[in-house]
Amino acid sequence: MTRKVPLRDLAHARAGDKGNTSNISVWAYEPGDYPLIKDQLTPERIKAAFPDLITGDVVRYELDHLHGLNFVLGEALEGGVNTSLGLDSHGKSWSFLVLGLELDVPDNLA
Amino acid sequence: MSADTMRMGSGAGFSSDRLGPAVDLAEQAELDWLVFETIGERTLAFGHRDRLQNPSRGYNPQLAARMRGVLKPCRDQGARIMTNMGVANVEAAAEVVIAVARELGLKGLKVAAVLGDEVTDQLNDQTVLFDYGGRTLGEVDRPLVGANAYMGIDAILPAVETGADVVITGRVADPSLFLAPIADKFGWQRDDWAKLGQGTLVGHLMECGMQITGGYFADPGRKHVPRPADCGYPIATIDADGGAEITKLDTAGGMVNMATVKEQLMYEVHDPTRYLTPDVTADFATAQLQESGQDKVRVSAAGGTERPKQLKVTVGFDGGLLGEGGVSYAGVNAAARARLAADILRQRFDAIPGMTDQYRVDLIGLNAVHGTARPDASGESQDVRVRAAMRSMDRNLIEGMLWEVESLLCCGPAGGGGYRGQITPGVVTHSTMINRDAISPTVKVYEA
């Protein structure tokens, strides 16, 4: 059996911007949770979760020894800080959009 | 300080960063160097715009205040200052530092200005912008305000070697502000890519100031930061191979641990094996992090390969004006009244003669920030602000848009109040590449 757990319970994250590209790094608090996060938090999952906001590709880089993933989201900032009309034109809040995604965690894992 | 290590502090991670904790470092941290990093692509373009309006401006607006705070304690402690607060007018900035030094009675204080990053005259309408689908500068169809190449340690080191108390630059790569003093201290070869990569990692971790000491980190209930209001800037103790220990003053709030360092490790990084600077192609993917004590993290083992053949150039354009205005709805049925107000605004905006620029209407409190990410957001807040925003080169059009927002007070839904509107200038930036031999960095020394 599995249960749904928000990513925020298992990992922390920070977003940064360069032009119209956002990058979000996601880090497991516990090394033991990293394989599950790596397995489920795929670039395809991120892209599919925010279809209207990410119009480019999502690429994932893996830092296994530090238990972290770095996602690069192309064309994800409504034009970027210079042209977006949005309030968060840097996309700084992207980290918490991703931390709101839910993972399937087996009941036998804490 | 031991002869085989050096100690650097950060005193700013962006143009408007706090001053008080920088003064604390200047007074207490026994630094060799205090580094203020304050340029972003936008702040550089705004610097050009300021200089076009007034030839004696164009540097960081907080420069004089920061120098008044740290010049004397740095001199007393034997710490030197490195900063890119020259932004788009490095010579004027150097004069400001000299003026503050004289005001403080710091006779003989030396400032070295690093010049040569501006390349505006070398571009033309055919210049290809790699971040703009390969289109050309001419196709941007906006007034050019200025263009600057990212210079590296080749440009900064001669200024460091003058022994100046303050080294001030315009556009250089952010980590190079740290790497130049490190390479100078330990006599690194300019093609020792592994060491330059590790030194660049130290600079990358430090250049955003408190983002590595618990700033930009707290998430109540999940990520606790001690005394966040008193958060301190970071300190790095660096050894001859570029390994470093990141820490903070014991008396400061905030914290340094694996989590704070990891978040900064990948901040604004894409491929961690290829972090491009003018100095090196740094490889952060091999980096080792280790907690070495309370609020101490040891960083080592980043690598690097040959530096890029060309330099990146930021090209700034006049971005016209951004108009933003809003009205608030609160209490029973606020969300429905706010939605109705938004509908009314859209109809009235579309009827403004000549209204061709794209506008946007948000409902703050419902889905403003992530409206496009979560169009189905259906929370029913009783505290909602209707916000309209538009960019245009035409001030009249923006004023007409804001007039319609304010008009909601008498001819919108019931109970709307609290109109505020503002018009702020904007910039647009793009990027191109330039050959290294297209720039000729120089150093100019000033004495108080």
- Tens-place pLDDT, residues A86-109: 888 888 888 999 999 999 999 887
CB contact under 8 A, A19 and B263: no
Collapsing DSSP states into helix, strand and coil, what is residue B370?
A: coil
Backbone dihedral region for residue A45 (phi beyond 0: left; psi -120 to 50: alpha; all else: beta): alpha
CB contact under 8 A, B268 and A29: no
A51 — pLDDT class (breaks 50, 70, 90): confident
Interface residue of B318, B370, B428 to substitute, partner A, most A CBs within 10 Å: B370
**What is d(CA B156, CA B169) in angstroms, rounded to the nearest whole number?**
8
pLDDT tens readout for residues B224-282: 999 999 999 999 999 999 999 999 999 999 999 999 999 999 999 999 999 999 999 99
Q: In this structure, what token pair is assigned to residue A35?
A: 């394989």
Return the pLDDT at B2. 55
pLDDT tens readout for residues B23-44: 999 999 999 999 999 998 889 9
The beta-carbon neighbor of A52 closest among B271, B372, B391 is: B372
Query: In chain B, which stretches have pLDDT less than 50?
Result: 1
CB proximity list for B351: less than 8 A, separation 6 or greater:
none
CB contact under 8 A, A70 and B266: yes
Beta strand B33-36 pairing with A21-28? unpaired
The beta-carbon neighbor of B270 closest among A72, A82, A86 is: A72
**What is d(CA B370, CA B393) in angstroms, rounded to the nearest whole number?**
27
pLDDT tens readout for residues B302-328: 999 999 999 999 999 999 999 999 999
Chain B nearest-CA distance from A68, in A, is 8
Task: Answer for the pair B201, B223: CB distance below 8 angstroms, yes or no.
Answer: no
Strands (E), A1-110: 2-6, 11-18, 21-28, 58-63, 68-73, 102-106
CA-nearest residue of chain A to B263?
A14
Return the pLDDT at B201. 98
**What is d(CA B202, CA B362) in angstroms, rounded to the nearest whole number?**
41
Give the dihedral sign, CA B95/B100/B102/B106.
negative
Q: In this structure, what token pair is assigned to residue B72?
A: 């004397």
List CB contacts (< 8 A) between A59 and chain B. Answer: 270
pLDDT tens readout for residues B204-224: 999 999 999 999 999 999 999
List CB contacts (< 8 A) between B322 and chain A. Answer: 85
Going by C-alpha positions, the residue among B202, B196, B191 that lies closest to residue B300 is B202
Return the pLDDT at B131. 87
Going by C-alpha positions, the residue among B262, B254, B219 that lies closest to residue B234 is B254
Return the pLDDT at A110. 58
Return the pLDDT at B368. 79
pLDDT tens readout for residues A6-30: 999 999 999 998 888 999 999 999 9
Task: Answer for the pair B414, B330: CB distance below 8 angstroms, yes or no.
Answer: no
Residue A38 has pLDDT above 60, yes or no: yes
Chain B nearest-CA distance from A85, in A, is 6
